[in-house]
Chains A and B, each alone.
Chain A
Amino acid sequence: MTDAAQGNATAGGEATAPLLEVEGLDAWYGAAQILFGLSLTVGRGEAVALLGRNGAGKSTTLKAIMGLVERRARRLAFDGQDVARLPTHALARRGLGYVPEDRRIFTGLTVAENLDVGRQPPRLLADGRPAPGWTTEHLFELFPNLAGMADRRGGQMSGGEQQMLTLARTLMGNPLLVLLDEPSEGVAPIIVEQMAQAILALKQKGLSILLSEQNFRFCEMICDRVYVIEHGELRWRGMTRGLSSLPEVKSNYAIL
């Protein structure tokens, strides 16, 4: 792995532990191992990108953190506590949000009902301050498209609308960190732009983000740091702006 000189953003912030710490993460689909000893961190309020080509293991990394695939890790800590043994729903209750790539809207439920399923009580940060809390009204401000269709069934929405709903649904849980899987995948360019704006707004509210992306321009708008993975292994890490000056790294790993 090449470690860029300007490297580890968390190096400066030793005072507080990172929000998410992953060390030596292995993951499997059945008998096939997909991830090999992946390590990464996400600091508080930080937006971090996982970059890599199709099939590199980006989505699997997010699923593995969330406990949705078979996994093993030397260390998996969230908000300073070991969470390696927690079931998926307990991770979500600690404030770890997950937005799947394929959206997974509950198609038989209305927009309002989808949001209600994601609802969780407000939570406190580790230092006792209240974490940013979300209500349906706030989310309809963030995604005005959704406001007019509260009673529409999830199955009758366009791809872009579903993409907004899946993010909004996860936000209803008042997460501290959102694992965001390819939000720019398969939606119209105008929606991509709106998504980027919304995600930036979330970041400014203090939400931490781990974003899986293939589209470098999208992550350039949002993310401070980048991890590049291929074949389930970490290949490069560093500041986002560092990567933009390294075209050979980008072309090596087919980053668009």
Chain B
Amino acid sequence: MSLDGLLFQALNGLAGASALFLVAAGLSIIFGVSRIVNLAHGSFYMLGIYLAGTLAGGFGGAFGFWAGVIGAVLVVAALGALTEIALLRRIYAAPELYQLLATFALALIVNDAVLYLWGPEDILGPRAPGLEGAIDLLGRRLPTYDIFLALVGPAVLIGLHLLLARSRFGRLIRAATEDREMAAALGVNEKVLFTAVFALGAGLAALGGALQMAREPASLSLDLAVLGDAFVIVVVGGLGSIPGAYVAAVLVAEVKALCIALGTVSVGGFEVNLSKLTLVAEFLVMAIVLIVRPNGLFGRPQPPARVAGRGEPPLRPMGRNGGIVALGVVAALALLPLAEGAFPYAPVLAVDMLVAVIFATSLHFIMGPGGMHSFGHAAYFGLGAYGAAYAATQLGAPTFAALAAGIVAAGLGALVFGWFAVRLSGVYLAMLTLAFAQIVWSIAYQWEAVTGGSNGLFGVWPDAPLDTRAGLYLAALGGALVVVLLLRRVLFAPFGYALRASRDSPLRAEAVGIATGRVQWLGFALAGALCGLAGGLFAFAKGSISPEAISVGRSIDGLVMVLLGGVESLLGPIVGAGAFTLLQDSVMRETDYWRALLGALILAIVLIFPGGLMGGAARLWALATRRAAR
């Protein structure tokens, strides 16, 4: 690789950095004031690029391109304001987890809205009039538009700095970012300020998207891809720091550009294609920064939220009656294969449900009693699935050994990722876990020699006695039973008490001699390992595993299952997993717009039934017994 080429790619990287910076700056400003990490922020970017393309075409001509950009920014800013008024205002006081989910639900709904309005095909935008050319630089042609884009980032950075430092609006934003309650006591109308800030942030994201229309096609996968990048940038730069976001955007874009520039290099006899490792590279940058500076390059420690959260009620072991009922249910489930003649599909659906039960129960273990809201549980599902599939197809391992290999792979992954994760909390933890899941996903997608790339691994069939529907079903039932009982046993052992103590009051737990970090780390690893069994069973049930099955969507499904069932109950994840799988199998299969449906379901849980099914049942039960007592 020549030096010229490197320089050329570096300039190219600056152009990419601008778009990422615009999105990350918006995310950061919104978080600063409202303390909400807006998972729909990538959707604003996506809307920006689609709208700008359509508007530019509508206006037409040289004027049309720029009018399209401005129009898209204004429309999306207005949508952002509407979102703040209609949705976010209702959830400012809700737990962080619900805020994250609600904004993710919005992302799902926007994605389907875009699908409905613009269709599934990628759309190419117009070129920027006057900037179509290229200039000769170092013997290569550097597009003029890229130079323009490279300048947009610093320009917006300076503009934002002036806005925040010199205007009264900026002073009010900074004051409310530090202490919104005090700002309100001084007469600052928070509602108006929050709406304005949200509109500003959404508009910035839309600007980032709109300006990209001349560089890349608009596609439906942009929202999550951009969101992932923006997360990395915000975490690397430090949540809430605008200059930090720019530095991080440049860093990430340059690392990516460098990977592409270097291409295939030989490391110790192995040919490594760096251009395929761009995704992994940016997450590696993030991991390194987080080890050295846990609050990011320019970040300061986040002040603790002034809202005092309501503690979770203690868990109660199931009484004797409950035990008898559970035994009866398990016995009935064990007899299900006898009904196969009447309902041939039943064991297949039941295996799906049991896989979901293992997945949701292990997730619940870390997010409920563990208090760590993982947005990347799909990572361990994926490690388990790929581990088992690789062992079975490539190494010829028998089924049980392959399942064990999956558990080990997931457990090791959880040990590594958990080591980082337990150092963070709240939204940082959520973003980091999501990022780790993206790493696993991109490795599965890009390491073709081992994972089969985008096609995945095929022919993952179980051997006897699991090679019948009934056999696999009974194995899944046994596995689910072991996982549920084991995790329940752990929760009522001293380790479980220590885990909950670490969640409820880390300082006091430390003071009585609990190594909170280690307890949470081991809890994280245990849950991850057991989740690997869900992945392995999934691979054997479907006969294959592909990156699609372990994407962000799977992580979110898990969160929805747990919340649908009720996070404060040990039965919650089981009930939620069953109900969600049934719902997915019946309703969501019937429509192209299942994302919007899932989004609506999440919003219903967050806004109307925050206790989930079990919480609702407990309320009904309390009501009924009180009436009976009267």
Contacts and interface: CB of A to CB of B under 8 A. Distances in A.
Interface of A: 29-30, 66, 68, 87-90, 92-93, 98, 100, 104, 106-109, 113-114, 116-118, 120, 169-170, 173
Contacts of B171: 109, 113, 116-117
Interface in B147-189: 168, 171-172, 174-175, 178-179, 181-189
A88 B374 CA distance: 35
B308 A117 contact: no
Contact of A92 (B168, B175, B187, B308): B187
B454 to A, nearest CB: 47
Contacts of B96: none
The 3 closest A-B pairs by CB, nearest first: A92-B187, A88-B184, A104-B182
Interface in B295-354: 308, 310
A173 B182 CA distance: 13
A68 B174 CA distance: 20
A117 B185 contact: no
B182 A100 contact: yes
Contacts of B189: 89-90
Looking at B174, B178, B186, B310, the one whose CB has the most chain A CB atoms below 10 A away is B186
A141 B508 CA distance: 48
B191 to A, nearest CB: 8
Contacts of A107: 178
A30 B174 contact: no
A116 B168 contact: yes
Contact of B175 (A98, A100, A106, A170): A106
B187 A68 contact: no
Contacts of A66: 185
Interface centre among B178, B185, B188, B190 (most CB of A within 10 A): B185
A100 B185 contact: yes
A194 to B, nearest CB: 23
Given A29-B308, A92-B187, A68 B181 contact: yes
Contacts, number: 61
Given A89-B190, A106-B175, A117-B188, A30 B310 contact: yes
B174 A92 contact: no
B505 to A, nearest CB: 15
Contacts of A68: 181, 185
Contacts of B310: 30
Contacts of B185: 66, 68, 88-89, 92, 98, 100
A117 B183 contact: yes
A231 to B, nearest CB: 21
A98 B185 CA distance: 6
A9 to B, nearest CB: 27
Contact of A118 (B178, B181, B186, B190): B186
A169 B182 CA distance: 11
A100 B186 CA distance: 11
A106 B178 contact: yes
Most buried by B among A29, A89, A170: A89
Contacts of B187: 89, 92-93, 118, 120, 173
A117 B184 contact: no
A108 B168 contact: no
A109 B171 CA distance: 8
Contacts of B174: 106, 108-109, 113
A208 to B, nearest CB: 17
A213 B41 CA distance: 48
A67 to B, nearest CB: 8
A170 B190 CA distance: 17
A116 B185 CA distance: 14
B175 A89 contact: no
Given A89-B190, A117-B171, A117-B172, A106 B184 contact: no
B97 to A, nearest CB: 19
A169 B171 CA distance: 14
25 contacts: A30-B308, A30-B310, A68-B181, A87-B184, A87-B191, A88-B181, A88-B185, A89-B184, A89-B185, A90-B189, A92-B187, A98-B185, A100-B185, A104-B182, A106-B178, A108-B174, A108-B178, A113-B174, A113-B175, A116-B171, A117-B175, A117-B183, A117-B186, A117-B188, A170-B186
Contacts of A88: 181, 184-185
A89 B182 CA distance: 9
Nearest to A104: B182
Nearest to B193: A89
Nearest to A154: B178
Contacts of B181: 68, 88
Contacts of B190: 89
A92 B186 contact: yes
A87 B189 CA distance: 9
Contacts of B184: 87-89, 92
B244 to A, nearest CB: 14
